[in-house]
Amino acid sequence: MLLNGDPGLSAAAYLGLACVALLVGFVKTGLPPLGILIPVVMALTFPTKTSVGTLLLYLVVGDILAVVFYRRTAEWSELVKLVPPVVCGLVVGVLILGAVDDRVLRVTIGALVLSLVLLEVVRMRRAASMNVRHPLFRFFVGASAGTATTLANAAGPIMGIYFLSAGLEKARFMGTTAVFFLVVNVSKIPAFAYLDMIQLPYLEAFVLLFPLVIVGAVIGRRFLAWIPQEAFRNAILVLTTLASVSLLVL
């Protein structure tokens, strides 16, 4: 782990951030809910607050690429309805950031995401679809996602399960997810900068390594074109479950 106050990053730290950049690009254009694994790895490798702020820089680059690729398939009506609850969640996240215990945070997010996975499994087994667009359910999901993304950049699985449950097929899922996270992540930059979560050595590394996000995005887009819709859905459910369990046990 890089100790606070170190004048620069080690070669191992640069290598780790390079892998993160590639994975962020792949996740943003290929399999968004897999992104939950990235903040977990970052938090285990770098100081927690610094890891959250640093990861945000790479996520924004990935979000821009995803919007360029998929913006035409975004479900704008769904996004507009999510604005009020997500803003509430962002405010709550900013207020408690810095005071929350890391272990409690991971367990809370893991339990929340697992509950949404179970909800989707139940929905798939029922003959009639569940009313996931009910205002109360939408507010719960939006507020939870806003809080989770502020505290740990960990809202991918939450929104992934919600958009799947709302019946968005692969193309609309990718477009809606891309626009959602670009807006949300850009809105977090001022708060993270104010809280000193984006530090100079990591910013310098980002300037050198962000092109790798583009490489990962190209690979991810090819992957998305290859994977069938049903396999796409199942992969999201399985990977989200595994990632949620990792949050509970690590």
pLDDT of residue 74: 94
pLDDT of residue 64: 94
pLDDT of residue 5: 41
Query: Which H or E element spans position 25?
Result: helix 11-29
Distance, CA of 113 to CA of 104 (rounded, Å): 14
3-class SS at 150?
A: helix
pLDDT of residue 172: 93
166-204 pLDDT per residue, tens: 888 888 988 999 999 999 999 999 999 988 889 999 999
The residues, any chain, with a CB within 8 Å of residue 158's CB and separated by 6 or more, are 112, 113, 116, 141, 144, 145, 148
pLDDT of residue 129: 52
Flag residues of the chain having pLDDT under 50. Answer: 1-6, 127-128
Query: Which H or E element spans position 240?
Result: helix 229-249
Distance, CA of 163 to CA of 136 (rounded, Å): 16
Distance, CA of 53 to CA of 202 (rounded, Å): 9
pLDDT of residue 126: 56
Amino acid identity of residue 11, one-letter, is: A
